[in-house]
Amino acid sequence: MNSISDQLRAPMYGSFSSALEHPDLIQLRPGLVAAAFRLMKLVPAKYIVEKAIADGQLDPGMPVLETSSGTFAMGLGIVCAEKRIPFHIVSDAAIDARLQARLRQLGGQVQIVGANAAGSNVQVLRLEALQEQLRANPGSFWPRQYDNLDNQLAYRCFAKQLIRTLGKNIVLVGTVGSGASTCGTVKALREIDPSIKLVGVDTFGSVLFGLPVGPRMLRGLGNSIYPNNLDHRCYDQVHWVSPAEAYASTRRLHAQYGLYCGPTSGAAFMVAEWLREQNKTVVFIAPDEGHRYADTVYDDAWLHDGGYAGLVLAAQPTKARSAQTASGPWAYLDWERRSYEQVTGQPRPAGTVLEQIRADQPAVSA
């Protein structure tokens, strides 16, 4: 039997990034577990950069170049700082000032483009600026978080952690942006047990699961393009949630359980809580902490000014007859591991993210 000192001995990590790679698994109540990451996007950032170095895709002294306005940029920044690799992030006005400052303090360059552009034009300008940087820096490396399938492979360790700790009798719930975290994790889980279910959480205005493109106030999930990391055949069920419900659930997750997380965590939490299945443990992915949202989701005045306070919130989702009929404030569809074409009746746009955006916006002025 281990002594008390052995039981209390904490692991010693060789780097800060190593300390961030695995989430805390927290049982909120029987049958409901949060997989709480401090910075989930660091996991693929570290895996992709280290693989690029091992494969000779990243020349010594050359920069890592990426376009991002969120936590993938932060993950890259930490990894590159540890490895003394220069990095350059192309972003837009949506990036918050604190994140921008941290990236620069880590030694990175942050390039802001498209201040006066709107909608998908911003994505075009970001990618075009990134292409200019790649041409100017031969030997540099572009992680391509949306299209690089190594993004999925990075989550195999997370899947092993779930199986080792919770066993096979689980349901996984996660928000969907690039699709890599949910698809990568469940593919590894299903190597152990093919019956393990995956529930994806999207938002209205996102095209990922067949809805028309529109404004998206809920950041960190959804998309206006179709990443190659998104494998629709992985999902058993898909939910669409509105900002008000996600924000309220984020605050409730903090108030009831002390978990200080971002709004994507709140969106996954509300679905997981509703979904609770008999004799199964529902695990939801909480991708990041709430510090970036102190002035927004956790600020009562911000919620009031945005019209999100005092609303009567949906207690449960409405079941949609098809993807095209899903409507707010909260809806779901039994996706049943079908392809995009099988569910929507429409072909899924092909090509990389850059090719899709160029096809949609062939001419863009700066």
Sheet containing 281-286, strands listed edge to edge, beginning at the edge strand earlier in sequence: 24-29, 32-36, 281-286, 170-175, 197-203, 237-241, 330-333, 318-319
At residue 36 the predicted structure's pLDDT band, cuts being 50, 70 and 90, is very high
Q: Which domains does the chain have, with CATH numbers?
A: 16-39+150-344 (3.40.50.1100), 42-136 (3.40.50.1100)
pTM: predicted TM-score of the whole model, two decimal places: 0.93
Sheet-wide strand order for 109-112: 64-67, 87-91, 109-112
Q: Are 92 and 112 in contact (CB under 8 A)?
A: yes
Report the alpha-carbon distance of residue 91 to residue 225 in Å, rounded.
Answer: 17
CB 31 within 8 A of CB 275: no
pLDDT of residue 99: 94
Run of H or E residues at 202: strand 197-203
Find the distance separating the first CA and the last CA of the chain, reported in whole Å. 68
Strands 170-175 and 330-333: unpaired
Average pLDDT, the chain: 92
Of the given ranges (144-158, 225-239, 271-285), which has the lowest mean pLDDT?
A: 271-285
Let me know: does 77 contact 103? Beta carbons within 8 Å: yes
Q: What is the pLDDT of residue 364?
A: 38
Residues 6+ apart with CB under 8 A from 175: 182, 200, 201, 202, 220, 221, 264, 267, 268, 285, 287
User: Model confidence over 249-270: pLDDT tens digits?
Assistant: 999 999 999 999 999 999 999 9
Is 362 in a helix, a strand, or coil? Answer: coil
Taking residues 160-177, report their average pLDDT. Answer: 98
**pLDDT exceeds cutoff 50 at 363:** no
Q: How many Cβ atoms from other residues are within 10 Å of residue 319's Cβ?
A: 11
| C-alpha–C-alpha distance, residues 331 and 343, integer Å | 16
Distances (CA, A) of 274 to 171, 241, 297, 343: 12, 13, 22, 24
Neighbours of 38 (CB within 10 A): 17
pLDDT in tens, 189-244: 999 999 999 999 999 999 999 999 988 889 899 998 899 999 999 999 999 999 99
Say yes or no to pLDDT of 294 above 90: yes
